[in-house]
Structure formats: structure tokens, C-alpha cells
Amino acid sequence: MAGMNKQVLLASRPQGWVKESDFNIVDTPMPVTKQGEILIKNLFLSLDPYMRGRMNDAKSYSAPVPIGGVMGGEAVGEVVESKNPAFKPGDTVTAYTGWQQYGVSDGTRVRKVDPKLVPPSAYLGVVGMPGVTAWVGLLDIGQPKAGETVVVAAASGAVGGVVGQLAKMKGARAIGIAGGKAKCDYVVKELGFDACVDHRMPDFYDQLSAVTPKGIDVYFENVGGPILDAVLRRVNAFARIPLCGLISQYNATEPYGVKNISSLLVNRVTLRGFIVSDHLDRWPTALAELGTAVARGKIKYREHVTQGLENAPKAFIGLLKGENFGKQVVKLT
Amino acid sequence: MAGMNKQVLLASRPQGWVKESDFNIVDTPMPVTKQGEILIKNLFLSLDPYMRGRMNDAKSYSAPVPIGGVMGGEAVGEVVESKNPAFKPGDTVTAYTGWQQYGVSDGTRVRKVDPKLVPPSAYLGVVGMPGVTAWVGLLDIGQPKAGETVVVAAASGAVGGVVGQLAKMKGARAIGIAGGKAKCDYVVKELGFDACVDHRMPDFYDQLSAVTPKGIDVYFENVGGPILDAVLRRVNAFARIPLCGLISQYNATEPYGVKNISSLLVNRVTLRGFIVSDHLDRWPTALAELGTAVARGKIKYREHVTQGLENAPKAFIGLLKGENFGKQVVKLT
């Protein structure tokens, strides 16, 4: 519909698994900019697991999306109108405009990006929030040393893929955990991990043991549940566990009880929950390094592109189920 | 028996709860010293929860006690014979001589102590390993700031009592968790904690909430199990959890599954397992500070004294069940 702005609203708070009926797709009038603001036409919307938490009304690190509100999130787009001297029409920017075709911003947390260095959508992934998440979590918290063994869950995902490649750059051994043979093959053959174990296999623990003969020094956690318990049986003394996500638990109505807590004591493990927005001081360095590495082909990535904003709810549910393969984005144009 | 040395040996590896029959008490000939060694007549034996782990044949941070071997542990005693120039008869020392009346040492990890500053048995507790454990765990890992809320489990125990008093010295609010009204009363009235909650009460979580209205910034963990889950519901953003012990789990045949792991992520918590012997560089400072504070009455402590080495197994089982009240020692003379 010309001159209208399609939006995805939160219709209801999910109990357990998210359903498409928890969203409402509406056409609204184009937003109007005030002095100091810019109008952005979004090209790609980012879908990320953390968004599941925003759908709840629970205490969390960021405010929940209100019922009837536009689903929050980051998008990359083009400035089509500017009443802010810092931006001009034609600029490519990332901004937290949410699940909609057009967004207005006063410039807060808007990042100008170079669409010639890497494709615009990459600024939502490998050279964006997920990439910086991998960088901060692995390098600042995980602190892998050459020769150590780094294991990362959800290894074919937007964060996990970068974690393993950064680990290799540091001289560590990189082991992925992923769901299914295709993802495992990709992680090893395309991203250059040393090995990848399919957590769906009944002998998952034995396979994990086989590829971590010297134990695990860094475990980058994105998943939680039984996978965490399995890894805890393999951690070495003084292991580090950057806790980035627990996607296996986000839709669980009854949380999994982690049994091998004693391993954290016996092995003097440091487990640290982190959220990349607490580390804004590290973003410029991380983004510069990641942008260069991606442009030079030293860090590879894969995107799972869904066409059309109206398909964002379905794509998001697929992401939570691990049906995506690589960074999940929605192409809006 | 004159000229004999009574010892407590490990007779069998316990499955689940320790039984008295897992130990064997024997009289053996007095040990003979070689050049460079000293003979120590033990005055007090320390009993500590970590010893439960040594009874297992599992991978741990220290080697298991062999079946038929003397149970390991620290004692404070008097040098009665010395072929080592660093020691002379009459010196009061602590040493890892184990559960026996007399021990021989080459001086490794033997510490000369001043029985006039504090009573000898205190060097096994508040001015010894448990005190340093509290000091390192709280100050180096927990890092409480003035005005923050520190919660410590097993608050009336050898470690917990020191944790709370150190927290108060740092200007933090100190909240204990203990088993039973008598221990809670002691923690508040004698040790000066701000409050103490009895974990045996059916409304334990509500009581914990009531005394932590601003949440929990540091949780010094000695216990694990459901208490950990309850505390995880109350932790603040950027809370620190020094993980010192998990006494509720040491005799469990089926470990408790910790459900509130997501709180570690949402609140960006740092949980760090530690063992005081990894921090030998901190012992001199810690012991000096603790010794001074105890001598001046600024840190108080209580001992649970069991008479006679033959009663050590029963006392140890009582310690694991929380039947002791204060630092558990065995008086050997």
C-alpha cells in the first residue's frame, strides 16, 4: 500500500512457544519527522533470540515490548529524509527502529555504515551486534589462549560462527555444537572449525568427548539445558564460560535443572553472564576488526534471508526452533 | 596406648552419605623422623566439608585418599622432635598431617603460629584455611562495595561467619542463611549480621526476600541445591557469586538440578568457583589481617569441639549434616 508503513505489533504475550497469533500485522500511516529526526526506509530487519525475552512481562535487562507496540529490533536501511545535520538522504544506517518498513529516529544509537565494505545486511550480523557479542564474549570474557580448546554452542548461528573463527585466529582449537549434519558440515568445511558435534545425536556426549580429548577451556554458551550439563562434564581447571544465551530455555514453561554445578567448583570455573550493550566501549574496536576481517574474507558468514515483513513472525519462530541456517534477517524490499 | 599413634584410616568409599564404617581406627607405632623432618604432636584436628570430596575416587582438584590411607587434613600441634633447623621443639605449628595423633613432616606447608595471639585451634579456623577462604572469596571475588547486600550460606560455619563480618567491615549489609533458629540468632546477635534466614522454614524464599529488599549483590555460596535457586531469584544486575562449596550436594546420589540459570544471564552475574589453595599469594595478607582482627575482638568465632580422635568420624558426619555449630575441630589431648 503506497504511502503506508507496515508494522508487526505484539498482540499477546506468549506462554511457552511463540505462535504467529502473538503478532499482529498492520498498515499505518507513514511516520512524520520532526526537527532533529530522520526517516529511514528499512532494507533488512534483524531477528535475534534475545527478542523472545522482550515479549515477556518479566524483569529483564530491557523493558518489555508493550502489548500493541511495534516489536523492537535493529534494522539496516537508507535515510530517505533528514532534519538532522548528522545524516543526509542516501546514508546507509543501522537503527533500532523495530519490525516495520519505515522508522523515525532522533539519531540515538544510529550507526552510519559503509555498504561498499560489506553488504548492508552484514551490519546486522557479523559486523553488527551478533559479531560484537561474539568478540566481547570470547575475547574479553573467554580469553582463549593458543592451544586451548574453545567450544561454542549454536555454532552455525550469527554469534557462534564468529566465535569459532575468532578462536581459530587466536590459535585455539575451535569445536562447534550444532543441530544437524548440514550445520555441522558447514561449520567445519566453510567456517574452518576443527570439529562440530550434532547435539541431536544420542551419543552426543561421547562424540563431544572424542573431539575434546584435552577437555574444554572456554565454553561459549548460547543454548543451555542438557548441552550445558554435557559440557560441564568436560571442562578443565580454570575454564571460562561466557554465558551469552540460553535459547533452549526461552520457550520452556518448566526450566531445565542443571545438574553438574559441582564441576564449576571442582574445576574453579568462571561463568559470566553478559549482554553486549553493557560493553559499548568495546564496540568501535570490535566493529573495526570484524569489518576488516569480513572484507578480507578472513571471517565468513551465512545469512538466512526471509522475504517480506509479513513473514517475520514465522521466521522468528523458526529461529527459536533452530530452523534457520546462519544469521536470520528479513528482507523488506 | 603409650608410644603408639592412633590414626583414622579410610576403610571404604562412601556411596551417598558417609557412615562410621567407612573409617577404621587403628593404633600404629610412633613414626620415626629422618634428617630434615619434624615430629608433631597434634593438639586439634580440623574437620572441613572439602574432605568429603577426598573420600571419592572421582576427578577433583586434589588426589583422593587411598583406601587404607590416613584421612587427610590439617591439624595444629606442637613440635616434639626436630631434625629440621627451621623448627624447634615447643613450636606451635599447623601442618597437613591428617587424622592422627602424631605426624611427621619435612616442613612443606607447615606454618609456625603464635599461640599467644589467638588460641591454637583458631589457626584451623578463623585465622587459618577457612578464614582465608572467606577473605579471598569475599574480597577478591565477591568484591562487595559499601551499601551493597552480601548474602552468605552456612553463615554460622567456619567460613560463613567470617564472610559476614568482613562484609560488615566493608560497609555492606550482611545477611546470613543458616539451619535453625539457634544458628540464626548467633549470626545476628553474636556476629553482628544484619539478618539471618533459616533455610528450613517453609517460607524461606519470602523471608529471604523480606531481608533483601534491594536484592543481592554478592552471594557467597557454600551450600548449593534449592538455596542457590532461591538466591538466584533475588540477585541484582552484575552480582558476584563466589562458589566456595556445595555441601548440600556432597552426599547426594542424584544431584539437584539448578533451575534459575537464566538469572545468571539476565542479571549478568559472575559465578566463580574457587579453592583457597590456588591463592597462596594472598594467604600472608589475609592471615595477618584476620589474626589482628580476631586478637582485637573485631572478628568473632565459635568452635564446635569434639573430644578424642576416635570421635572424628562421627563429628565429620555431623558436620556434613550441619549438626555442628561453628568451626568443627577435634581435640586430641
Ordered by start, the domain boundaries in chain A are 4-125+302-331, 129-277
- Kindly determine whether residue B270 and residue A272, on different chains, have CB atoms separated by under 8 Å: yes
Q: What is the arithmetic mean of pLDDT over B177-201?
A: 97
Residue B329, pLDDT score: 97
Mutate to test the interface with B, among A223, A261, A270 (most CBs of B within 10 A): A261
User: For residue A190, is pLDDT > 80?
Assistant: yes
Query: In whole angstroms, how large is the CA radius of gyration of chain A?
Result: 20
Q: What is the arithmetic mean of pLDDT over B75-92?
A: 98
pLDDT tens digits along A169-185: 999 999 999 999 999 99
User: For residue A60, is pLDDT > 90?
Assistant: no
Return mean pLDDT, chain A: 95
In degrees, to the nearest 5, what angle opens at C-alpha A19 toward C-alphas A17 and A21?
Answer: 150
- Kindly determine whether residue B266 and residue A273, on different chains, have CB atoms separated by under 8 Å: yes
Residue B2, pLDDT score: 57
**Which chain A residues have a beta carbon less than 8 Å from that of B245?**
265
Residue B250, pLDDT score: 87
- Kindly determine whether residue A265 and residue B259, on different chains, have CB atoms separated by under 8 Å: no
Q: What is the arithmetic mean of pLDDT over A142-160?
A: 97
Instruction: Count A/B contacts: CB-CB distance under 8 Å.
Output: 96
- Give dist(CA A241, CA B305) in Å, integer: 41
Contact A250, A53 (CB under 8 A): yes
pLDDT tens digits along B289-322: 999 999 999 999 999 999 999 999 999 999 999 8
Helix H or strand E segment including B219: strand B216-220
pLDDT band at A3 (very low <50, low <70, confident <90, very high): confident
User: For residue A62, is pLDDT > 90?
Assistant: no
Torsion of CA B114, B116, B121, B126, to 10 degrees: -80
**Which residues does A28 contact at the CB level (< 8 Å), separation at least 6?**
A4, A5, A6, A7
Which residue bears the cell 532534519? Answer: A83
**Which class is domain A4-125+302-331?**
alpha beta
- Give dist(CA B195, CA A35) in Å, integer: 55
End-to-end CA separation in angstroms for chain A: 13
- Give dist(CA A232, CA B241) in Å, integer: 18
Residue A252, pLDDT score: 86
Residue B1, pLDDT score: 42
- Give dist(CA A175, CA A188) in Å, integer: 9
pLDDT band at A63 (very low <50, low <70, confident <90, very high): confident
pTM beyond 0.90: the answer is yes
pLDDT tens digits along B216-273: 999 999 999 999 999 999 999 999 999 999 999 988 889 999 999 999 999 999 999 9
- Give dist(CA B91, CA B93) in Å, integer: 6
Q: Which fold has domain B4-124+302-331?
A: Quinone Oxidoreductase; Chain A, domain 1 (3.90.180)
Number of H helices, E strands in chain A: 9, 15
- Write down the architecture of domain B129-277 according to CATH: 3-Layer(aba) Sandwich (3.40)
Cα B222 to chain centroid distance, Å, stands at 9
DSSP string across A220-289: EBSS-THHHHHHHTTEEEEEEEEE---GGGTT-SSPPPB-TTHHHHHTT-EEEE--GGGGGGGHHHHHHH
Contact A222, A199 (CB under 8 A): no
| Nearest one of B184, B172, B188, B179 to B236, comparing CA atoms | B172
- Kindly determine whether residue A272 and residue B267, on different chains, have CB atoms separated by under 8 Å: no
Nearest to B264 among A59, A259, A273 (CB): A273
